[in-house]
Amino acid sequence: MRCNDESLQCLLQADDRSDEFRRATRHVDECSYCQQRLERLAADAAMWREVKDTLVSGAMGQDGHSASPRVWLGSAAAWNESMARQLLDPPSHPELLGRLGRYDVERLIGSGGMGIVLKGFDGELSRPVAIKILAPHLAGNGAARLRFAREARAAAAVVHPHVVAIHNVETNGASPFLVMQFVGGESLQQRLDREGALDVCAILRIAMQTADGLAAAHSQGLVHRDVKPSNILLDLGVEHAMLTDFGLARASDDASLTHTGHHPGTPQYMSPEQARGVAIDARSDLFSLGSVIYAMCTGRPPFRADTSYGILRQITDSRPTAIRELNPRIPEWLEAIVARLHEKCPEHRIQTAEQLRSLLAQCLAHVQQPLVCQLPRELRKQPAVRRRGWWLAAGGVVAATLLATQFRDAGHWGSAPASASRSASRSAIGSTTTAATDSSLDWNSSHEALESFRTEWEEFEFRAQQLWDESSISSQD
């Protein structure tokens, strides 16, 4: 496509189902000049905003699956008629959309990167199903059919409570399709759109379960490559997250289906490796999950710009706004977890999904029972007097007193018994006596006393952190 007004005028008037239209829109997605010219040429500013939104991030299907349920400027009803019905046999009942094999198709749910998703019913097993059909314009493409078949096999190999199950795969017909477990709830994206930022328990639970599903996929040598809120489904009525749409998943050691310069994945949730178009591994999914956690904490994705290119530059070069600047109710340790996942260099991130799952599980236990369960050691922060109030300063005095007492009890203070020594030490607090210079000090006893004090100090630090957490929550409420 040439970058001139004549070509752009043709784009505005082109058939949105034509190959020429699809090539032109891909060009406009990457060309800032054409985007600016198209904005001026479009007669309706509202229409252009719709086009631009679709270029940047796509619209959301009713079930939260990625991509638009419309074919650009076409209506949803026209898309249903022109795409879905043409792929189906006549319905067995007037209220149904059609029939595909042994499955009755009830309605269109949405669309993914490579196909459309329908809600169906398996009469033989008497259960609802989700049916994903390869998009018609790809069904005649050998490479696309191969990728679709690989997607089905990859997803079917992952059997896990937090991964949507694949029940059946049909790849020989004119319209290849796969049959998946139907999840009757909503996507995480839909929940974020409705509620905004989530509470900490919900964030940790959803993130932990998603990491659990990713760990299962990674153990099979698979990288999901498109972890985002619309690909995390929440089962109806329960907080049960399930990872879906392995449309971009593939065996880690097989790069034969990725073209140079192609960026699979949704821009706002890509990893820096994906944005640069270089080789990726399972740690790419962890960066993307970090972006999902960020969105749950703030109600918005971490990287935003007016163009896809702008988003990719932010992902590779910039850090997002600090979570607590947007939502002060998020604890510092959760912000720290996201920061680790958002490291630009994969070697600096949390290294495996299983490690992340375990970390989040400990954090969730701490939030639910703070007096029983500690935060993981790497997330604990030594209390600071200036930030934690007068009660912690008093605690510091108590700790200093304990230290002085331990040192004095550890030494040989003449022939006095231990009880007398402890009594003397209590009366001597605040004096200028320097026990450390006493030539009769028993250093073996001192070592034991220090070990005992270290244990007491850790208990004191844990209790101080608990009091700080409780005071922070009550002050925010």
Q: Please list the active-site residues.
A: 226
Q: How much of the chain is helix, strand and coil, in % rounded to 5?
A: 50, 10, 35
**Measuring CA to CA, which residue among 348, 343, 344, 332 is closest to residue 297?**
332
**Measuring CA to CA, which residue among 440, 439, 444, 407 is closest to residue 422?**
407
- Any idea of the CA torsion for 134, 136, 139, 141, to the nearest 10 degrees? -130
H or E element at residue 208: helix 200-219
Residue 104 to residue 158: CA distance in whole angstroms: 26
Residue 144 to residue 299: CA distance in whole angstroms: 35
Residue 103 to residue 120: CA distance in whole angstroms: 6
Residue that is written with structure tokens 């073209």 in the block: 259
DSSP 89: B
Amino acid at 338: V
Q: Which tokens go with 63?
A: 């079930």
228-247 burial string, b = 16+ CB within 10 Å, else e? bbbbbbbeeeeebbbbbbbb
Please give the biggest Cα pair distance in the chain. Answer: 104
Task: Please report the beta strands in 173-327, taking only residues with DSSP state E, as ranges in sequence order.
Answer: 177-181, 186-187, 222-223, 232-234, 241-243, 250-251
* Angle in degrees, CA 331, 336, 339, rounded to 5: 135
Q: Which tokens go with 468?
A: 């700080």
CA distances for 106 relative to 69, 85, 111, 343, angstroms: 16, 11, 15, 44
- Any idea of the CA torsion for 46, 52, 56, 62, to the nearest 10 degrees? 40
* Angle in degrees, CA 314, 317, 323, rounded to 5: 60
Residue 303 to residue 301: CA distance in whole angstroms: 6
Residue 375 to residue 362: CA distance in whole angstroms: 6
Q: Under 8 Å CB-to-CB from 208, ≥6 apart: which residues? A: 357, 360, 361, 364
